[in-house]
Structure 1
Amino acid sequence: MSAPRRVLVVGATGHLGSAIARALARRGDQVVLTARDAERLEALAHELAHLTIPHPPPPRMISADLRAPEGPAHLADAVLATGGLDDLVLAGGPFPRTPLNALSREALLDALTVHTVAPLLLANALAEQLTLSNGAIVALSDAGVTRPYPNHLAYLAAKGALEAGLRALATELAPRVRVNALALGIVTDPESGHDPARATRLAARTPMGRFGTPEEVAHATLALLDATWTTGEVWGVGR
């Protein structure tokens, strides 16, 4: 068994981020949780601290808003102040609906700030520490970057820019830091309402005939964190 790692999960209170945090904690890694909602962070940290595994490393919490101009730098400073870092998981950001007739400069800039600018600035701010630990960066992207769907132009443009930035970052940080992404198909969100008939139609169009689960995304994330001969790649999952 490999030695435990110290992993920062950005967007830890979302349905994907929390599943990734649980999977990391269950295998014995120390998880540093960050999100905007301090109450939800505290609840997740309490849950992870009481997992039924021998002596789970205590999770750390950092409430942060990466949309602020200094947000990524402040978060990086806070993470390093808690004792360093081995790996980074970028799982944050909303899924805004932007019909073409509602597209605006503001909508594009908002999506780019959350899904491209903030993640790349944070990764850059942590690059020196990740280099020291031979670390890995894994970001969640979207299969819609290469197979677009309607009404999400700003979001998909931002995710496409993120993938390009991560590939460039992989070149800059090789060979000490691996940088990769997961391009996700549709994943079930247990907290969102949905139209069962529409969900059935969409699922039938996928190769697997169903939506993915947050736990399956977590499994793929851990696999990519552990893929020691892989960098600059975007793995398609559930397309």
Structure 2
Amino acid sequence: MSRTVLVVGATGRLGVAIARALVKRQSRVVLTARDPDKLASLAHELGELAGTAPPSVVCADLTREDAAPSIVEGIRRTDLGKIDDIVLACGPFPRTPLETLRREDLQHTLTVHAIAPLLLVHALSADLAAARGAVVALGDVGTSRPYTNHVAYITAKGALKAGLRALSVELAPDVRVNMLQLGIVADPEADADPLRTHRLAARSSLGRFGTAEEVVHVVLSLLDATWTTGETWNIGR
């Protein structure tokens, strides 16, 4: 039986790859992101991929205080009405050098990566429980092995990790909550400096960046892992 999956941050590079993979395995998807044009374009692409009408979209800005209730209201207005699972693929990845770090950097990044996603899971917890559903979030290995110039981002992903572990206890046994901590995923459009690329890839035990397809593989595995909750899986160390 196909499931209905909410993809948060659906228009980001990994969000798009996850949404495509879900459609290919005949899941129903609801897409949410802040850019209406990108959402419409992705929905059209996924509709053509599936040979069906485009999936439902909910345009929302996670920095707004009403983001979580707005997304829930948008879901209720779709033909699907409810969701079974959530994938949190939230961006962005801001560079915040320590010497220029501001309160606003921390507040903004914490809101997008931790506060809004945790409130959204809480708001949809009844849907998730009724469906014996799962939450899978994308984190970052930087919360365990920090790197420079990204204090706000690493702090926010650390807060998300702690919050999701707490929710895995609060929502058990009906809802499973897990996270992937990602190493560097290759971006063909951005990784234009071969020396920098080599230096960063050398940090990995495997000596290379990961791919979006490899991330998708683990996301789908955690959605299907019915005896797994409260876990943080590191990939790309």
Q: TM-score range with shorter-chain normalisation?
A: over 0.9
Shift of 1:193: 4.7
Match for residue 60 of structure 1 among 51, 56, 59 = 56
Q: Structure 1: any 5+ residue segments left out of the alignment?
A: none
TM-score by length of 2: 0.96
- Identity percentage of aligned residues: 60
- Name the residue aligned to 1:75: 71
TM-score by length of 1: 0.95
Match for residue 183 of structure 1 among 160, 169, 181 = 181
Q: Is the 8 A contact 2:14 2:212 kept in 1?
A: yes
**One-letter code aligned to 1:174:** A
In the superposition, relative to structure 1, how do residues 162 and 12 fare at CA in structure 2: closer, same or farther (>3 Å)? same
CA distance in 2, matches of 1:195, 1:23: 30
SS of the aligned residue for 2:156 comes to: helix
Q: Structure 2: any 5+ residue segments left out of the alignment?
A: none
**One-letter code aligned to 2:99:** N
In the superposition, relative to structure 1, how do residues 57 and 220 fare at CA in structure 2: closer, same or farther (>3 Å)? farther
Map 1:120-131 → 2, pairs under 5 A: 120-131=118-129
**One-letter code aligned to 1:178:** R
- Structure 1 residues 133-175: Cα deviation after superposition (integer angstroms, max 9, x where no partner): 1110011000000000000011101100100000000000000
- Name the residue aligned to 1:39: 37
CA distance in 1, matches of 2:151, 2:157: 10
**One-letter code aligned to 2:233:** W
- Name the residue aligned to 1:87: 85
Q: Is the 8 A contact 2:48 2:54 kept in 1?
A: no
CA distance in 2, matches of 1:194, 1:92: 24
Shift of 1:196: 1.2
Shift of 1:56: 5.0
Map 1:148-167 → 2, pairs under 5 A: 148-167=146-165
